[in-house]
């Protein structure tokens, strides 16, 4: 049975689900999903440590196995490309990610795939932006998606800190 743990971060409380072999979910919730048990496994402990180091500014690249769950081959290809090729402090447009992934997905479709990412932050969908601005973001506390995306990009140095 998967394990669940939480981390209090600058962008809210984050929940992480591990099955012992891969990180399966990163969420903005503190209540464990029904399919988890209370005991952490070694991978969950490592994920919590890496996320803590990331938020402390000491980690720039996650070294964690992830499981995207049931996804189409195209979605899996786009998310894998994002995880493997878009580094800390970098951004890429939705269209740029479509080209880089070798899929025929239009930019709007890439946005939908980013919204289906089950392991945000670790698989950095916040680094995918619109050609004319931030684009959207479905992570973060309710109603705080774009503020969360902006904070993550500022934290990584991809955006200058907001004056307000």
Contacts of 68 (CB under 8 A, 6+ apart): 75, 76, 79, 80, 117, 118, 119
pTM for this one?
Answer: 0.92
Q: Given this model, what pLDDT does residue 7 score? A: 94
Q: Where are the domains of the chain?
A: 3-56, 73-155
Q: Which stretches of the chain score pLDDT less than 50?
A: none
Residue among 44, 92, 113, 125 flagged as catalytic:
125
Question: What dotted CATH number matches 3-56?
Answer: 3.30.160
Catalytic annotation on 125? yes
Domain 73-155 fold is Arc Repressor Mutant, subunit A (1.10.10)
Condensed to tens digits (0 to 9), the pLDDT of residues 60-101 reads 999 999 999 999 999 999 999 999 999 999 999 999 999 999
Q: Given this model, what pLDDT does residue 38 score? A: 61
Q: Given this model, what pLDDT does residue 125 score? A: 96
* Backbone angles phi and psi of 91, in degrees to 5: -130, 160
Q: Given this model, what pLDDT does residue 60 score? A: 95
Residue 128, beta-bridge partner list = 92
CA distance 31 to 147: 23
For the chain, counts of helices (H) and of strands (E): 5, 5
């Amino acid at each position: 049975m998967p394990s669940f743990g939480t981390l209090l971060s600058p962008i809210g409380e984050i929940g992480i689900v591990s099955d012992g072999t891969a990180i399966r979910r990163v969420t903005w919730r503190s209540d464990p999903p029904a399919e988890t048990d209370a005991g952490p496994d070694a991978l969950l402990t490592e994920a919590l440590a890496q996320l803590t180091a990331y938020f402390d500014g000491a980690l720039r690249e996650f070294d964690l196995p992830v499981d995207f769950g049931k996804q189409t081959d195209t979605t899996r290809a786009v998310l894998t490309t994002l995880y493997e090729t878009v580094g800390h402090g970098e951004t890429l447009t939705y269209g740029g990610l479509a080209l880089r992934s070798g899929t025929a997905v239009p930019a709007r479709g890439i946005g939908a795939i980013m919204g289906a990412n089950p392991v945000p932050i670790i698989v950095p969908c916040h680094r995918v932006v619109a050609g004319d601005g931030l684009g959207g973001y479905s992570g973060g506390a309710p109603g705080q998606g774009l503020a969360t995306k902006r904070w993550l990009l500022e934290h990584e140095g991809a955006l200058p800190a907001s004056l307000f």
